[in-house]
Structure 1
Amino acid sequence: MGEIGISGRLRVAALQAPLTCVASGDLPDVLARCSQEDIDLLVLPECYFGGMPPDRLAAEAVAIAPPYASLLTSLADGPPSTTVVAGFTERSGQGRLHSSAAVVRGGRLVGEISRKVFPREAAFDAGDDLPLHQHGEHAFGIVICYDCNFVEPSRLLALAGARILVCPLNNDLSVDVARRWRERSRSTSIARAVENDCWVITADVAGTAAGREGIGATRVIAPDGQVVAESDAGAASQLVVADIEVSGDSMLARWDVRRNPAVFDRWRQSWGAPEAGS
């Protein structure tokens, strides 16, 4: 594999995993494929390591604390030029429990841990930061599952310079909810791509078990909203691979609401902020 980030082209991969999502026997094969196919960026689902905990006690049982030795050991055989975004349950240095994503390359942690900022699960505490990450010259941000439904996390990362939004998902839902949310999940990811002029890469879970169903919302979306690659929704284990061209130029500067002060003030008032200059 060549030097990291030498051009605007990247080969990316997103793993669609079974509902259990516990870094099962597919991980060595996935890492081997990354080496064979010259993958630059690999995205694993939310809580891929340990699975999605149903409650706080279960989260405590699978939580990985700094220095994240077991997680890094599991990824140690990954190609040194592949950046892996790995979802796991974290016990932070402050003892809080988070749905988190580590950025790993060559079996080593690179950059800060990203933490879900709007967790719906009672097991998790909310994160309070949105760190920017790098693969060579390419900046990317991580938006974890439910956080994709909010405009602000993705926009803040895009404003900070992200040209790729990486979204580890874990849409393990009751059957009726899964079927209602399947198209909404697809539309939401497309919206985040278009409104932020970013590539979006999602990695989800799929399959059925005991009244549960995984949406299988694993795909790669271009900044214009085109879905350039996606999984078979029912495939419980599938690696989605795409070649993408990442532009250094963003159209966000054209979409600055401050260009019209009246509209800007109305927007600020909608969330209780004072008018500009007041």
Structure 2
Amino acid sequence: MRVAAYQAPYLPFGSWDAVDLIASQLIACESAGVELLCCPEAIIGGLAHESAGQSPRDVALTVDELRRLVAPLASSPVASVLGFTERGSDDAVYSSAVLLADGDVRTVYRKVYPGYRTVVSAGTDLPVVTLRHTPLGMMICNDIWYVEPARVLAAKGAALIAVPTNSGHVKVDAPTTSRLRSRGETLPVARAVENTVTLVVADVVGEQDGRRALGCSRIVDPDGRVLAQAHPDETGLVVADVEPRRRPHNPRGWDGHLNPDVSGEYAALLGPR
């Protein structure tokens, strides 16, 4: 299966320009034989910097509103994962991603670990859907820092995990930049190897309002090999052929119960601290 990650420009909060940008990428994907395009977190509408007074509610869309907005993309034979801020029926806001395939929204995923100090609510479901015979799951940005989402998706049979990401929150010349870049490059490898899955990570790149995005888009196979990666200063497509099926289950790393003293101590860590 040929997949792509779109390393998009770091657009201003409130911009809807991404729809036209994605449309051009889908045309390029069709020419390259790509079947799935992963786009960044909040590519539709931009990511709010709440500490700077921006409110996610200002760009939040219901799924039906999003469906109408991205209607020009629905005719493409290339499936796409699109990040946006969702306004739920409960009036809560979520960092979400939809799988747009076969002319309509196939599924919606809500980020399960939205982070600290945010009005964005946490999702609760980790769906796996079949796309062109390939079991597909989704995570969003901060989710990759946690072991649980990828493990749950793998346990449900996912062979491929799309990871819309938005690193456009690092202050220019911040001392943590190199550390965050290293983790942006290595966490996908860790999750791929731990769970024998392929990860497709789509990030943003560029600077605005004193912040810099890290541009860590990449495609990582189940052995942790980086099949393709973006230049950290350039927009564009990252394309690779990936395994369309889940490999036979390898129990190593999943069988911690064989040493109950260790697995019990680990389980205790998952409780409140």
Instruction: Tell me the TM-score normalized by structure 1.
Output: 0.87
**Separation in 2 of the partners of 1:265 and 1:210?**
47
CA distance in 1, matches of 2:179, 2:265: 33
CA pair 46-272 structure 1, distance change in 2 beyond 3 A: closer
Q: Which amino acid aligns with 1:136?
A: R
Sort the Cα spacing of 1:122 and 1:248 in 2 relative to 1 into closer, same or farther, 3 A: closer
- Which whole-Å CA distance do the structure 1 matches of 2:63 and 2:268 have between them? 42
Aligned ranges for residues 230-249 of structure 1 at < 5 Å? Answer: 230-235=229-234, 237-249=235-247
Long gaps (5+) in structure 2: none
Answer whether contact 1:72 1:109 (CA < 8 A) is retained: no
Q: What is the TM-score of this pair, normalised by structure 2? A: 0.88
- Kindly indicate whether the alpha-carbon contact (under 8 Å) linking 2:5 and 2:238 is maintained by their aligned counterparts in 1: yes
Instruction: Determine the C-alpha separation between the residues in 1 that align with 2:103 and 2:48.
Output: 25
Percent identity between matched residues is 35
Matches within 5 A, 1:155-166: 155-166=151-162
Cα distance change, pair 133–76 in 1 and its aligned pair in 2 (3 A): same
CA distance in 2, matches of 1:42, 1:191: 22
- 1:185 paired residue number: 184
Could you say which residue in structure 1 is the equivalent of 2:226? 227
**Matching residue within 83, 96, 101 for 1:105:** 101
Q: Deviations over 1:45-78 (max 9, x none)?
A: 0001001022386322211103233344142232
Q: Are 2:6 and 1:15 aligned?
A: yes
Mapping 1:2-151, distance limit 5 Å: 10-20=1-11, 22=16, 23=18, 25-55=20-50, 58-67=55-64, 68-79=66-77, 82-111=78-107, 113-120=108-115, 122-151=118-147
Deviation at 1:134, TM superposition (A): 1.8
Q: Which amino acid aligns with 2:6?
A: L
Tell me by how many angstroms 1:25 deviates: 3.6
2:269 alignment partner in structure 1: 270
SS at match of 1:253: coil
Contact 1:171 1:178 in 2 (8 A): no
Which stretch has the larger CA shift, 36-45 or 65-74?
Answer: 65-74
CA RMSD of superposed structures (Å) = 2.0
- Asked whether the 8 Å contact 1:64–1:70 carries over to 2, the reply is no
Once residues 134 and 214 of structure 1 are traced to their aligned partners in structure 2, the CA distance between those partners, rounded to angstroms, is: 32
Q: Which ranges in structure 1 are unaligned for 5 or more consecutive residues?
A: 1-9, 274-278
Q: Deviations over 1:199-220 (max 9, x none)?
A: 1110000012232111101000
- Give the SS at the match of 1:241: strand
Would you say how many aligned residue pairs link Structure 1 and Structure 2?
260
